[in-house]
Chains A and B, each alone.
Chain A
Amino acid sequence: MIDPQKIRQDFPILRRVVHGDKPLVYLDSAATSQKPQAVLDAIVQYYTNHNANVHRGIHVLGDESTKMFTSARDTIAKFFGADSDELILTRNTTEGLNAVVYSWVESHIRKEDTILLTEMEHHSNIVPWQRFAKRTGCSLEYIRVSPDGELDLQDLKKKCTKHIKLIAVAHVSNTLGVINPITDIVELAHTVGAKVVVDGAQSAPHMPINFHTLECDAFAFSGHKMLGPMGIGGLVVRKEMMNEMDPFLFGGGMIREVTYEETTFADLPDKFIGGTPDVASTVGLATACEYLTKLGMDQVFAHDHELVEYALEKLSTVDGVNIVGPMEAKKRCGSVAFTYTGVHAHDVAQILDSEGVAVRSGHHCTMPLHEKFGWIATTRASFNVYTTKEDIDALVRALAKVKKVFSRV
């Protein structure tokens, strides 16, 4: 089992105090994770010693930078169990999902087709499809979420017809915390010839991912949620689908030949790298992947499970707290969100913050799901490798202050 106390030594920001003398209790890792010193060093080291544009300058720095970039891409692809030419670097999950729309969906889905989503999707896995559907007139359907916060597989079976050309689904819900059965969804989808696109933003930081055994067609992730820097992420795509994809960002670096009239594109992966890439962040993300690999993703997942189980147990004893999503820890990953009777989530978060406890409050970019369940807003505590059970204890203690403040009048 990994030792979070030891891991915390690698994260300088966790030594911070806030509001005078209160130690920072960071429970907002699902929004963005903190970064280990190794990642920070890798970025500074790149800019300090190797900075040059990639694939362009024929000089020492150009060679070093290109080599570092290529090797970082390889490391990231390998982390997800994918081949290097199956990885398209993007800024984040949102850009990865949009890339599927512009590079594949535009040329493969027609008016009479249907795209299937789920009711628990993040806005970034709803809006791109919704915009496409409005542009082209194709249909959008949503797989139901059951009252206990799980995907309704019967509803999936019912809706997975030959009209479905693509299913886009979160691996782990950022609000319900529930893990969706991707392999079951893929099996069903492939029998009707539909592609499966997975939003891996909340699973990649916590679960061992093997893109090939997961068997989905595309998997999008954000580097900044998995100990890497902001501004870098990726879309892993199966070769068959990749071969059917057109570039969607046109410009320098991604071309083979340009005349005033015509352009031919570079080979993979360069044809999806329009313009100068964020090399430093790519190197930073590769370092984060190495850091996680060293800890062992099985161990990381086990640690998360322990925290989820502990949080469910402790939070369910707090007066006024109503946990959303399944109550069985084994069905969940990464976070526990809740409503607090009589107090809005923003007020809960503000008071928790005054005790040094950082959580997320609001609708977490799942407005339709909040509307469906009648939650105005929820408060979410989320975890990463450096999170301890003491952090959860601090949350529970700080929740007592919410009651105190709101019982004054």
Chain B
Amino acid sequence: MCSLEYDTAMSDLYQEIILDHAQHPRNFGVLDNPTHTIRELNASCGDNIEFSFHIKDNIIQDIAWKGAGCAISTASSSIISDLIKGRTVQYAKSLTQHEVFREIGVSSILPTREKCLMLPLRVLRSLP
């Protein structure tokens, strides 16, 4: 990767939307009576997140998540939790990396940080 691309990727990473979500994560916490709880780990980072869902009639009525991770996985979890609240389970399961890029407003991510961004998507893939 040439330096110009790198600098863009680097400033993309720590742009305001990511820092804002990382420091003020949305839907952070645990639901009282979740219908589904899913935990995921990033083995190489030590990142650990847990999503709880209240799913009724195939719709994600409510969602909360908690965990300790880097700015990227935290922002990604926060943004995704906002994105899927009120949507169908199928929608959540079919979310792609590309769509998360679009939400955050980045065009790519450094290869070493891809797994941080993908951590909440791995949770959604485990939905029933």
Would you list the 6 A-B pairs with minimal beta carbon distance, nearest first? A344-B70, A20-B3, A346-B70, A363-B46, A409-B19, A377-B46
CB-CB contacts below 8 Å: B50-66 with A: none
Q: Determine whether the beta carbon of A350 is less than 8 Å from that of B69.
A: no
Distance A362 CA – B41 CA, assembled complex (angstroms): 13
Interface string of B68-111 (1 = CB under 8 A from A): 11111010000000000000000000000000000000000010
**CB-defined contacts of A409 to chain B, threshold 8 Å:** 16, 19-20, 23-24
Contacts A346-B113, A406-B19, A409-B23; A354 near B70 (Cβ below 8 A): no
Q: Determine whether the beta carbon of A362 is less than 8 Å from that of B45.
A: yes
Return A122 CB to nearest CB of chain B, in Å. Answer: 14
Distance A343 CA – B69 CA, assembled complex (angstroms): 9
Q: Out of A351, A363, A367, which one reaches B14, CB within 8 Å?
A: A351
Distance A13 CA – B6 CA, assembled complex (angstroms): 20
Known contacts A344-B71, A346-B72, A377-B45, then 10 further A-B pairs from the complex at CB < 8 Å, ordered by chain A residue: A344-B70, A346-B45, A350-B13, A354-B10, A363-B45, A376-B68, A377-B47, A405-B19, A409-B19, A409-B23
Distance A121 CA – B23 CA, assembled complex (angstroms): 33
Return A230 CB to nearest CB of chain B, in Å. Answer: 18
CB-CB contacts below 8 Å: B4-61 with A: 4, 6-7, 10, 13-14, 16, 19-20, 23-24, 44-48
Distance A247 CA – B10 CA, assembled complex (angstroms): 49
**CB-defined contacts of B16 to chain A, threshold 8 Å:** 408-409
In the complex, the chain A residue whose C-beta lies closest to that of B24 is A409
A–B complex contacts, Cβ < 8 Å, 15 sampled: A19-B10, A20-B3, A344-B47, A344-B70, A346-B45, A347-B14, A347-B71, A351-B14, A354-B10, A362-B46, A376-B46, A377-B47, A405-B19, A409-B19, A409-B20
CB-CB contacts below 8 Å: A372-394 with B: 375-377
**CB-defined contacts of A406 to chain B, threshold 8 Å:** 19, 23, 71
Distance A203 CA – B44 CA, assembled complex (angstroms): 23
Distance A367 CA – B42 CA, assembled complex (angstroms): 11
**CB-defined contacts of B124 to chain A, threshold 8 Å:** none
In the complex, the chain A residue whose C-beta lies closest to that of B17 is A409
Interface of A is mostly: mixed
In the complex, the chain A residue whose C-beta lies closest to that of B4 is A20
The reply to whether the CB of A370 lies closer than 8 angstroms to some CB of chain B is: yes
Return A350 CB to nearest CB of chain B, in Å. Answer: 7
Q: Determine whether the beta carbon of A370 is less than 8 Å from that of B46.
A: yes
Distance A363 CA – B47 CA, assembled complex (angstroms): 10
The reply to whether the CB of B116 lies closer than 8 angstroms to some CB of chain A is: yes
**CB-defined contacts of B14 to chain A, threshold 8 Å:** 347, 350-351, 405
Interface string of A153-191 (1 = CB under 8 A from B): 000000000000000000000000000000000000000
**CB-defined contacts of B10 to chain A, threshold 8 Å:** 19, 350, 354
Interface size in chain A (residues, C-beta < 8 A): 22
Q: Determine whether the beta carbon of A19 is less than 8 Å from that of B7.
A: yes
Contacts A20-B7, A362-B44, A376-B69; A346 near B116 (Cβ below 8 A): yes
In the complex, the chain A residue whose C-beta lies closest to that of B13 is A350
Distance A167 CA – B57 CA, assembled complex (angstroms): 56
In the complex, the chain B residue whose C-beta lies closest to that of A365 is B44
CB-CB contacts below 8 Å: A394-409 with B: 405-406, 408-409
**CB-defined contacts of A377 to chain B, threshold 8 Å:** 45-47, 70
Q: Determine whether the beta carbon of B46 is less than 8 Å from that of A367.
A: yes
Distance A347 CA – B75 CA, assembled complex (angstroms): 12
Return A28 CB to nearest CB of chain B, in Å. Answer: 13
CB-CB contacts below 8 Å: A4-26 with B: 18-20
Interface string of A287-306 (1 = CB under 8 A from B): 00000000000000000000
Contacts A19-B7, A351-B14; A376 near B47 (Cβ below 8 A): yes
Distance A406 CA – B44 CA, assembled complex (angstroms): 23
**CB-defined contacts of B72 to chain A, threshold 8 Å:** 346-347
Return B37 CB to nearest CB of chain A, in Å. Answer: 20
Distance A375 CA – B24 CA, assembled complex (angstroms): 21
Distance A158 CA – B100 CA, assembled complex (angstroms): 54
Distance A3 CA – B46 CA, assembled complex (angstroms): 38
**CB-defined contacts of B48 to chain A, threshold 8 Å:** 376
In the complex, the chain B residue whose C-beta lies closest to that of A123 is B43
Interface string of A332-350 (1 = CB under 8 A from B): 0000000000011111001
**CB-defined contacts of B13 to chain A, threshold 8 Å:** 350
**CB-defined contacts of A370 to chain B, threshold 8 Å:** 46
Distance A408 CA – B20 CA, assembled complex (angstroms): 9
Return A369 CB to nearest CB of chain B, in Å. Answer: 11
**CB-defined contacts of A347 to chain B, threshold 8 Å:** 14, 70-72
**CB-defined contacts of B6 to chain A, threshold 8 Å:** 19
In the complex, the chain A residue whose C-beta lies closest to that of B14 is A405
Q: Determine whether the beta carbon of A408 is less than 8 Å from that of B70.
A: no
